[in-house]
Amino acid sequence: MLMIQNPVLRGFNPDPSFLRVGEDYYLATSTFEWFPAGPIYHSRDLVHWRLLGHAITRSSQLLLQGVSDSAGVWAPSLSYRDGRFYLIYSIVRTRIGPYKDVHNYLVTAPDISGPWSEPIYLNSSGFDPSLYHDDDGRSWLVNMQWDFRKDRPRFAGIVLQEYSVNECRLIGPISNILKKPQLIEGPNLYKRDGWYYLMLAEGGTGWNHGISMARSRSLTGPYEPDPQPLILTSRKNPGLTLQKAGHGELVQTPAGEWYLAHLCSRPVYPERRCTLGRETAIQQCVWSADGWLRLATGGTDPQVQVPAPIGVKPHSWPATPLRDDFNAPTLDKHFSTLRVPVDESWLSLSQRPGWLRLLGRESLQSVFEQSLVAQRAQAFNITAETCLEFEPVCFTQMAGLICWYDTQTHYYLRVSFDEQLGKNIAIIVCDNGVQIEPAPPLAIGAWRRIFMRVEIAEDQLRFAASPDGENWQYIGPMLDASKLSDDYGSGMHFTGSFVGLCCQDLGGTRKAADFDYFELRQT
């Protein structure tokens, strides 16, 4: 029997939106401060998935400069009607304190691969919007409403308003269709046997997360709650492999089976920190005799192995190369950048063919213009390697290999310049906003090329360097990889760890750093 092995999208891929069109299945996930946004994954069997591309790739669709860590694009939602794909997304500009400056937009495309349109503004009342297309031809926007007032619950209800496809705007009255005392997010509407079903993410996106449902004979309510409080959760079972289970969407297969995509996390021990962030898993569901959605296995626990749809044939995709020699004219789609898209002003694959050139810009604490490009960590055991040519002439110039969570927490093996040492290599650690250098720098003036490597094993991380790619030496001590997680540091965090390349020039001269390749092995 063909089995789905969870998570199906490993590493930072939270808040999945699930869509089937014909024989094809699609997933879209959140990207927060990372560019491009709106990643779209494709499968033919629910088992094998590939990154098809991104819907939000241009500055005209998305401006993220200045947004804080874990703000930006939250919970995109895919839908389809009459030969057109729709993707709704929130841009969260303020996430700390009582306010949420959030704006919701819609882009569309005649094909899932694009081209995707310029954004249509929808509203700013809350986050996690989705678009429901009713069988009478009308379309409806649903989102949670945020309440910033003192001594009020932050959740002010699920609001519904009609979207006019012809006018490309919201029309008509706004209805508040559901209120509950606890925090409710991620609303999605479905219709089955004359009932409107409202699927909800409940309890926040951490260890207390879960999915609940309500239903009504009328689109605008009233909605009755499911007599089973939660359909899916791992809150009562800390021993489950898949933790933080919640925030999901449904699809029905051509044969009539039902599957639920949801976010989850896998902690590393003993710290119980989720270094890969929030990932995406799929569960099989059934409908009870009285018309409520239930996991096919019974209970509410997310399963690691789930049967694939009956009769589906395996449909694998070509493996992603482990090594990028930067010979293509454009950057590989598996790379992401912080807050701004790639352009020749700071990243070039043509100025030195066969090399990735980064022009140094702002510091690693900047939320505006960083020259940083990275890939998601998708396994607990990782080896990443690169080769750098870089000749700094001032201490303000740095380049190297980075293990990144956000501006406040990262590990950086960097090459720089010192008046006494000349060109040197050292580690910079940013630990919840406190910067330290755990070992003295090593002079490497005779190294024309600097080979750099990081090895991560569960909660242990160590850097190494070499002048020739053969004779390696460790740089600095063993470091705590578990700090690169949602669960470390002050405040709430929502992303995941990355490994990549970066360059800084704090003097503003845009010193160039050239990288020969980037190799990422994950097991």
Distance CA 308, CA 16 (A): 18
DSSP labels, 438-484: -S--EE-TT-SSEEEEEEEETTEEEEEEESSSSS-EEEEEEEEGGGS
> Tokens representing 39?
């990643």
Cα dist from 83 to 22, 80, 198, 330, whole Å: 11, 7, 25, 30
List 128, 185, 279, 389, catalytic entry? 185
- 461: buried, middle or exposed (CB in 10 Å: 19+, 13-18, 0-12)? buried
Identify the CA nearest to 430 among candidates 347, 360, 375, 504: 504
Cα dist from 371 to 277, 294, 305, 342, 511, whole Å: 23, 47, 40, 9, 11
Any catalytic annotation for residue 257?
A: no
DSSP state of 318: P
Q: How many CB atoms lie within 10 A of CB 276?
A: 25
Identify the CA nearest to 263 among candidates 222, 209, 189: 209
Any catalytic annotation for residue 185?
A: yes
List 15, 226, 257, 324, catalytic entry? 15
8 Å CB contact between 406 and 462: no
Q: Which residues are catalytic?
A: 15, 185
